[in-house]
Structure 1
Amino acid sequence: MILVYIEKYKKVTDVAKELNMKQPSVTFHMKSLEEEMGTVLFESKRGRMILTEAGKALYPYALKITGLAAEAKKVVRDYTTLDKGSLHIGADCITGTYLLPELISLFSDKYPGTRLQLTIKPTHTIHQMLVNQDIDVAFCQSKQSRQGIFDGFQHEELWVDDLVVIFGPTHPFTKLEHLSPQLIAKQFFIQHAEGSFIKEFSLAWSNINVVHLWERIQMDSPEAVKLAVAHNDHISFFTRKGIQQELAQGHLMCLPIPEQTKSTLTSYMAYSADSSQSSLRSEFVAFIKDQM
Structure 2
Amino acid sequence: MNLLKLQILVLIERLKKVTDVAKELDMKQPTVTFHMKSLEEDLGVALFEAKRGRIWLTEAGKALHPYAVKMTAMALEARKAVQDYADLNKGHLQIAADSLMGSIHLPRIVNRFCREYPGIQVELMVQPSRVVQELMYHQEADVAFYYAQDGPSKGITEEVLLDEELVVIFSPSHPFASLKSLTDQLIAQQFFIQHAEGSFMRDFARSYAIKSGIHLWERMIINSPEAVKHTVEDGDFISLFPLSGIRDEVAAGKLMYLPVPEKPGKTVKACMAYHADQPSSPLREQFKQFAKQTLTAPVSP
> Structure 1 length normalisation: TM-score?
0.70
Q: Deviation of residue 274 (structure 1)?
A: 2.9
Partner of 1:285: 288
Matches within 5 A, 1:1-292: 79-144=85-150, 148-274=151-277, 276-291=279-294
Relative to structure 1, the CA distance from residue 275 to residue 91 in structure 2 (aligned partners, 3 Å threshold; closer, same or farther) is closer
Q: 1:290 to 1:174 in 2, by over 3 A?
A: closer
**Structure 1 unaligned spans of 5+:** 1-74
Q: Which has the larger radius of gyration?
A: 2
Mapped to 2, the partners of 1:78 and 1:238 lie a distance apart of 41
Given that 1:78 and 1:280 are in contact with CA atoms closer than 8 Å, whether structure 2 keeps it comes out as no
The letter of the residue matching 1:91 is A
Q: 1 CA distance for matches of 2:196 and 2:127?
A: 9
Q: Assess if the C-alpha contact under 8 Å between 1:79 and 1:278 holds in 2.
A: no
Shift of residue 249, structure 1, vs aligned partner = 1.0
In the alignment, the residues of structure 2 paired with residue 276 and residue 175 of structure 1 have an alpha-carbon distance, to the nearest angstrom, of 54
- Which residue pairs with 1:67 in the alignment? none
Q: Within 2, Cα distance between the matches of 1:152 and 1:194? A: 25
Specify the alignment match of 1:29 in structure 2. none
Instruction: Give the whole-Å Cα distance in 1 for the aligned partners of 2:211 and 2:243.
Output: 22
Code of the aligned partner of 2:124: L
Q: Tell me how large the CA RMSD over aligned residues is.
A: 1.9
Cα distance in structure 1, aligned partners of 2:191 and 2:124: 33
- Mapped to 1, the partners of 2:164 and 2:248 lie a distance apart of 15
Percent identity reads 44
Q: What is the deviation of 1:135? A: 1.0
> Can you list the C-alpha shifts for 1:218-246, whole angstroms capped at 9, x where unaligned?
00000100111110311111111000011
Structure-2 separation of matches of 1:200 and 1:188: 18
* Separation in 2, partners of 1:221, 1:273: 30
Q: Which runs of 4+ in 1 moved over 6 A?
A: 75-78
d(CA) in 2 for partners of 1:195, 1:80: 37
User: When the two structures are superposed, what TM-score results if normalisation uses the length of structure 2?
Assistant: 0.68
Asked if the contact 1:78/1:279 (under 8 Å) is kept, the reply is no
Matched positions, count: 215
